[in-house]
Structure 1
Amino acid sequence: MIFNMKLLQAALLAALGVASLGAGAQTVRIANQGDSLSMDPHSLNESLQLSVTGNVYEPLVGRNKDLSVAPGLATSWKQTSPTVWRFELRKGVQFHDGTPFTADDVLFSMARTQVEGSDMKSYTNDVKEVRKVNDHVVEIETKAPFPILPDVLTGVYIMSKKWCETNQAQRPVDRRKGIENAASFRANGTGPFRLRERQPNVRTTFVRNGNYWGKIEGNAQEVIFTPIGNDATRVAALLSGEIDVMEPVPVQDIDRVNGSPNTKALVAPELRTIFLGMDQKRDELQFSNVKGKNPFKDKRVRQAFYQSIDIEGIKKTVMRGASNPTALMVGPGINGFQAEMNKRLPYDPDAAKKLLADAGYPNGFEVAMNCPNDRYVNDARICQAVAANLSRIGVKINLAAETKGTYFPKILRRDTSFYMLGWTPATYDAHNALNALMACPDDKGTGQFNLGSYCNPKVDQLTKSVQSETDKAKRNALIKEAFEIHAADIGHLPLHQQALAWGVSKKIKLVQMGDNYMPFKWITVQK
C-alpha cells in the first residue's frame, strides 16, 4: 500500500510539472478534466477555452462578478442611431509585448472573427461595418437595430493587429481542419495574465501582468493549468494538496471533497443547457444502416427519441440529483427564459415505439452517436444512458465517446448524425441560442452551431425580430413564439442544465460565476 501511494504521488507530481509539494505561496495550481484546445481566442467557441484565454485577452465590454456588463477595453459606449454604436476606447493600454492598443486592433479583431476558420462568426454576423473615428474611438454599425450588442461583444476578444501580422496569424486556426499557427501556442493580449509556457494537454503556465492597466484584486502571481482527465486522479490530487482548484468535481465525490478538512466543493446552478442534436439535412443519414433516406427528417422519429429518454432516471442515477431536466434550449438565468413553457414531453417508451412504427421503422434502426468524454459533467455516462434508453425501442446506438480534442473538430465539420452539445449563451440572452443553435445555417455565422441543420424560416424571422425589439414584453412574446415552434418541431432534444461543482482548497478564495468562467484576477491565496 505504501509503495502504491508513492507511485501515485510521483505520477501526480510529474503530471503537474512541480518538483516538490512546496510550490510558491502565490502559485495556484488548477486542474480540469480537459485542456484549452488552443490559445487562439477566435478558434473555438467553447467556454473552457474562452475562460482560459480570457485571462490573457480582453473584450471591449467585460463582466462584473454578478455577470452584469462592465467597461473593458472600452470605457463607455452609446447608440448614436438605431444601428450605430460608438465605443470610447481605453487609453494607455499596452499588449504584453509593449505595443499600444488602438482602434486598429479593434477593426482587425472584429474582421478576424468573420474570416474562414473563425468559430466566433455568430457573435459578429450582424455587424455591417466597423469604422475608426480616431485612435481611441470606433463605431460599429449593425445590419439592423441590435440593442444587446454590448452583451454580445463580451465574448469577442481583441488581438494585436501588429503581432498577428508579424507572426502570420491573421486568420484563426480552423479546428475543423486541424490547422495550427503561432496563435495556437503563443499569446499576446492586454489581460491581467501573460502566457509563459504552453504544453498542449500537459501544462499551461500563466504569470501576472505587472503592466496591467486595471486592478488585479487577487494575489496569484502564477497559475499552472493542468488537464487531468481521470476523475479519481483529479480528486486525489485535490485531496492530497497537489492542486488547489479542480473542475468539475464528479457528482459522486462532492461529499468526499466536503468531508476533507482542507477542501470544499463549490456547487451552484450553471447557465449551460445540455442537449442532443440530429442531422436533419442530408437525404441519406450517415453512420446508419438506413439507406436511401434520413429518419431524422421525420418529426415522428425525433419525437420517438425524445420520449424514449428517461431524463429523471438520468438525473437520479447518472447526475446524482445535480441536474435540472429541461424542455427548452436555455435555462433559468437567461434573459427570455420562459418558465411556463418548461414542460417536457412525457417519458413513454410505448408511445415512442408506436411513433417509430408509424414512421416506417417498426424494428428501429442503427445510428452512430458522437459524444465527448471530457467536456461536460458525466458526458459519456449520459450518452451511455441515452443509448440504453433507445435500445428499449429498437434503436441501436453505436456510441463514439472521445476526447474533445477530436470530438469538436468532427462535429463542427457536421460529420455527425446524432450528437451531444452543451451551450451557455455568452450574452446571457435567448437571442444567442436562437441565432447560434436554432436558426437556419448560412455562411455568415447564423446557425453556426446548429450542427444538425434544423431549419424553420419562421424561427429565423422571429430571431431577427427578437434582435431588434426593444420593448421587453414584446421581445419575450417573440422569444416564446420561436421556442414554441422549435419545441413543436422537436428541433433538438434538450436534456438538462448541469450543476457547477468546483473543488477548492480552503486556502484559496475565488469567484464562481454561473457561466463557469474562472478569472485568475479574482483568485487569492490565503495564509
Structure 2
Amino acid sequence: MSVISRHRAAAGLLSVALVTASTAACGGQASGAGGSDTLTVISGTAPATLDPVKANVGSDNWFVNLAYDTLLRLGPDGEIQPGLAEKWGYVGENNKVFDLTLRADAKFADGTPVTARAVADSLNYARKNGLNSATWSSAIDSVTATGPLTVRVRCATPHPVLPMLLNQIQLMGSVISPKGLADPSKMGSASFGAGPYVLDSAQSATGDHYTYTPNPNYWDKSRIHWKKVVIKVVTNPSSGLDAVKTGQADLIPVIANQADTAKTSGLAVINAPIAFVGVNLADRDGTLAEPLGDVRVRQALNHAVNRQAITQAVFREYGQPTAQLSLPGLDGYVSDYDNRYPYDPERAKKLLAEAGYPDGFSLRAEVQGVNGFDLVPQAVFQQWKQIGVTVNVVTDTTVGGFLANATSKTFPALGFAYGGLPTYLTSLDWMLPHTSAFNPFASKDDKLTAMLAEAAAAPESKQAGLYRNAMRYVVDQAWFVAVARQDNIYAYNDKKLTGVTVAPGYLPDLAWTVAPK
C-alpha cells in the first residue's frame, strides 16, 4: 500500500465557494433537524449538478460524497486511506504507471458489483468530461481494467499525485455505475454511486433541499450513522446560522464575522486554512500591460501591499497573510515565504523607477463579485494607488462570466480565490504553459518548467524539497500577488455531533465520520 505522506488537497479553481458560500444575499429557511437519527446541514449554495465529475470541488462535495464512494480517501491527518481500492501504488520509476486493486465486496446502490471495468469506464468518463479534467488529468494517457478487480492508469508524463486526485476531496475518483454512464444526462439530478447513501428524489427539491437515505448494498455498514441526511440550501447567512442555533439544523459553514456569534450561542466552531485570495499578474510577458513584463514591476506590486492589514480587515483571526500558493502541510509550503514581500511602499516606488516607471502606470483588471471574492483584490488596488498604479476594474457577477473574461486574454490582472492543492496540481493551473483561468496567456518560464518536471518524476521522498524550490522560484518571479490564506470555518451542535473535523484542505466528512454523539 502506497501512502502520500501529509499531502492535503482542497478546492481548486473557483469552487472554493464553500468557504464563503454563506455570504450570498438572498432568502431561504431551514426545516427541522428531524431528530437524533437525522443529520441536517446547511449549504450556502445549491449544486449546479449532481454529476460528481462536473461538480464544484469544495462547494458541492457534500452532495456528491454521500452517494459516491471514491477509490481512495484523504484523512484529516493528510494520509491517503483505502476506499473502493484496497491497494494502490506506482509501478516502476517516474510516476507514470499507477495500479489499483479493488475490494471484492463493493456494490453500487443498484446492486451491481463494482468491477475494474466499471471503474475504468468511470475514470475515462471523468477524464473526458470532468470540470478540472483539462488540467488535473491532462497527463493521463489511458485507464484500463487489467483484471476483474485491477485497474492500471498510464500517464504520458509524470503525475505524482494520482492518489490525491482519486480521493473524496477532488471528486474525480468518485465511481459512477454503468447505469449512470449509460445515460449521463440523468446524473445531474439523481445518484448512481456506490456510496453509503443514495439520493431520495421523492424527499428532495432541486435548489432547496436534498435528502439522502442509507444504501442497503454499502460494503461497510459501520460507516452509515444516520437514517437520513438532509442538506438544506439557505443562501441568507443569518437565516442559516439561526437554523443551527435554534436546533433546526446541525452544521453550517460560516464566515469570519459569524464565528463569534456562533460561539456565544453555544455552538462549537472549528477552522483551518483552505484557500488563497489575491491578484493574479497574468500578463507576465507584458503583452497587454507592458510594465508587467518586468519582474521588478511585479515585485513592486507585491511590496506595495499591506497583507497584514487586509487580512485582519477581511478575515480577522480566520486568515493568515502570505505571499505563496501553498498551505502548511502541503508539499510546496515554504514557511519563510509567507513574508517574502514585506510591506514597503518606498521600496516599491524605487523598483518602479528602476524599471522605467517612476510615475507609475495604469492597467485593467477583472474581479469576481460573487460571494465577496472582490473584497481583497479591491483593497490591493487601493493600496497600489500609493505607488502611482491605477487599476480600471471590471466586476463580474457570475462565475461563468468571470471564467469567460479570465480566459479571453483581455485582462492583464485578475482577482483570484484558489483552493490549496499539492503543488503538481497547482502548477497545472498556474505555472506550466497551459492556457487556463489562472494562466490565460500560457506564460512560460523554461527554468520553472524544468524544476517542475524534475519534481513530478522524483521519488516521493524527494518531491517536497523539489516543489518547495519551485514555489520559491515562482514567488521570486512575482507571477501573482497572493495576499492571504483563508480559513474554512464551521459551526455545529457539539451536543449532538461527533467526528466533525477540519484540517488544511480537509472538509468535514458527512459520508464517513460525522456521527451522533
| Paired position in structure 2 for 1:367 | 364
User: After superposition, where does 1:213-252 map in structure 2 within 5 Å?
Assistant: 213-217=219-223, 219-248=225-254, 250-252=255-257
| Paired position in structure 2 for 1:9 | none
Instruction: State the 1:469 CA deviation.
Output: 0.9
C-alpha distance in structure 2 between counterparts of 1:120 and 1:478, whole Å: 25
Task: Sort the Cα spacing of 1:366 and 1:469 in 2 relative to 1 into closer, same or farther, 3 A.
Answer: closer
Higher RCO (CA < 8 A, seq sep 6+) = 2
Contact 2:106–2:113 under 8 Å retained in 1: yes
C-alpha distance in structure 1 between counterparts of 2:251 and 2:409, whole Å: 35
C-alpha distance in structure 1 between counterparts of 2:160 and 2:363, whole Å: 46
User: After superposition, where does 1:10-409 map in structure 2 within 5 Å?
Assistant: 15-16=28-29, 18=31, 21=32, 23-44=34-55, 46-82=57-93, 83-115=96-128, 118-144=131-157, 146=159, 148-154=161-167, 155=170, 156-160=172-176, 162-167=178-183, 169=184, 181-197=185-201, 199-217=205-223, 219-248=225-254, 250-261=255-266, 263-267=267-271, 269-280=272-283, 285=288, 293=289, 295-353=291-349, 355-356=351-352, 358-360=355-357, 362=359, 364-374=361-371, 379-392=373-386, 393-398=388-393, 400=395, 402=397, 404=399, 407=402
| Paired position in structure 1 for 2:431 | 438
C-alpha distance in structure 2 between counterparts of 1:397 and 1:161, whole Å: 49
Instruction: State the 1:191 CA deviation.
Output: 0.9
**Residue type of the partner of 1:330?**
S
1:420 is the counterpart of 2:433: no
| Paired position in structure 1 for 2:10 | none
Q: Deviations over 1:52-71 (max 9, x none)?
A: 31222222221234331111
Q: Deviations over 1:148-202 (max 9, x none)?
A: 43333223224436324431x2xxxxxxxxxxx4332222111112122464543
Deviates more, 1:406-415 or 1:317-326: 406-415
Instruction: State the 1:236 CA deviation.
Output: 2.6
Gaps in structure 2 of 5+ consecutive residues: 1-24
Instruction: State the 1:102 CA deviation.
Output: 1.4
Contact 1:271–1:334 under 8 Å retained in 2: no
C-alpha distance in structure 2 between counterparts of 1:209 and 1:199, whole Å: 20
Q: Deviations over 1:259-283 (max 9, x none)?
A: 123x22123x224333431332797
C-alpha distance in structure 2 between counterparts of 1:448 and 1:388, whole Å: 24
Task: Sort the Cα spacing of 1:415 and 1:120 in 2 relative to 1 into closer, same or farther, 3 A.
Answer: farther
Instruction: State the 1:513 CA deviation.
Output: 2.7
Task: Sort the Cα spacing of 1:24 and 1:280 in 2 relative to 1 into closer, same or farther, 3 A.
Answer: same
C-alpha distance in structure 1 between counterparts of 2:407 and 2:29, whole Å: 31
C-alpha distance in structure 1 between counterparts of 2:215 and 2:284, whole Å: 48
After TM superposition, the score normalised by the length of structure 1 is: 0.81
Instruction: State the 1:246 CA deviation.
Output: 0.9
Is the partner of 1:466 in helix, strand or coil? Answer: helix
| Paired position in structure 1 for 2:3 | none
Is the partner of 2:146 in helix, strand or coil? Answer: strand
1:523 is the counterpart of 2:514: yes
C-alpha distance in structure 2 between counterparts of 1:206 and 1:283, whole Å: 51
Instruction: State the 1:136 CA deviation.
Output: 1.2
1:456 is the counterpart of 2:462: no
| Paired position in structure 2 for 1:511 | 500
Instruction: State the 1:356 CA deviation.
Output: 4.9
Is the partner of 2:329 in helix, strand or coil? Answer: coil
Task: Sort the Cα spacing of 1:461 and 1:503 in 2 relative to 1 into closer, same or farther, 3 A.
Answer: same
Instruction: State the 1:399 CA deviation.
Output: 5.2
C-alpha distance in structure 1 between counterparts of 2:423 and 2:456, whole Å: 10
**Residue type of the partner of 1:524?**
A
**Residue type of the partner of 2:191?**
A
After TM superposition, the score normalised by the length of structure 2 is: 0.82
Task: Sort the Cα spacing of 1:359 and 1:225 in 2 relative to 1 into closer, same or farther, 3 A.
Answer: farther
Aligned residues: 479
Instruction: State the 1:239 CA deviation.
Output: 2.1
C-alpha distance in structure 2 between counterparts of 1:362 and 1:247, whole Å: 45
Contact 2:196–2:224 under 8 Å retained in 1: no
| Paired position in structure 2 for 1:177 | none
Is the partner of 2:262 in helix, strand or coil? Answer: helix
Q: Deviations over 1:418-452 (max 9, x none)?
A: 12122221xxx33332233322116xxxx675346
**Residue type of the partner of 2:140?**
V
The percent identity for this pair of structures is 20
C-alpha distance in structure 2 between counterparts of 1:132 and 1:257, whole Å: 49
Is the partner of 1:347 in helix, strand or coil? Answer: coil
Contact 1:57–1:191 under 8 Å retained in 2: yes
| Paired position in structure 1 for 2:473 | 485
Instruction: State the 1:245 CA deviation.
Output: 0.9
Task: Sort the Cα spacing of 1:153 and 1:166 in 2 relative to 1 into closer, same or farther, 3 A.
Answer: closer
